[in-house]
């Protein structure tokens, strides 16, 4: 029960649906004790086809993302990244959120993860430990499907930067967040659309 309780209380995993598969009084009793929906193995097998189809749709979404990653960044996203890199995290959030809402395809997760990282950095500057921690945990699910480089953004570099920020944040804890090393709040590296040569910002 402990691991299930941790999954349900963690912002990074609490939205993941869980179901028990099995039969018998002991299994039923356990499932009821942890408020877990329970299905028989036969029922699960009968309903597996829609699950497989849903997984296939996610795979197709990944392929669509790979295609759109070759495209240049929209101007609004470039503005958001420039605001982010200037430390104007609130303004970056507004611009990137608008771009995210305007984009219907899977690349919207790229915009969402950058804006959430910016909000996390903003919360660190405000001394809000729990707000920053929750935002970084929430960003993990949007990082997951992204390649290391997409639309000119060096996603792998951003992942590494966020991992370093999270590590220090958790090492300090809420009581010492004022000691956080602000130099760890690094800019997002990206290639500016239309540049003749390789540039990072």
**118-132: pLDDT as tens digits:** 999 999 999 999 999
Task: Please check the confidence at residue 73 and state whether its pLDDT lies above 90.
Answer: yes
Q: What is the pLDDT of residues 18-30, one digit of tens each?
A: 777 777 787 778 7
| Banded model confidence at residue 33, pLDDT cuts 50, 70, 90 | confident
Nearest Cα to 116, choosing from 129, 97, 98?
A: 97
Nearest Cα to 158, choosing from 65, 106, 85, 78?
A: 85
* Collapsed DSSP state (helix, strand, coil) of residue 126: coil
CA dist 151 and 193 (Å) reads 9
């Amino acid at each position: 029960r402990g691991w299930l309780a941790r999954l349900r209380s963690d912002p990074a995993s609490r939205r993941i649906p869980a179901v028990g598969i099995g039969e018998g009084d002991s299994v039923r009793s356990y499932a009821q004790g942890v408020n877990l929906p329970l299905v028989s193995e036969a029922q699960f097998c009968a309903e597996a086809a829609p699950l497989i189809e849903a997984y296939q749709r996610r795979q197709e979404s990944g392929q669509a993302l790979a295609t759109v990653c070759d495209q240049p960044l929209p101007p609004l996203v470039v503005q958001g990244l420039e605001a982010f890199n200037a430390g104007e995290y609130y303004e970056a959030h507004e611009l990137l959120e608008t771009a995210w809402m305007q984009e219907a395809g899977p690349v919207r997760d790229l915009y969402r993860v950058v804006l959430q990282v910016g909000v996390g950095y903003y919360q660190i500057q405000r001394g809000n430990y729990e707000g920053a921690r929750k935002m970084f945990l929430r960003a993990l699910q949007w990082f997951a499907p992204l390649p290391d480089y997409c639309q000119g953004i060096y996603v792998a570099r951003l992942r590494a930067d966020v991992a370093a920020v999270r590590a220090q944040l958790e090492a300090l804890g809420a009581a010492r967040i004022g000691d956080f090393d602000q130099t760890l709040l690094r800019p997002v590296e990206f290639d500016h659309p239309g540049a003749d040569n390789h540039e990072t910002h």
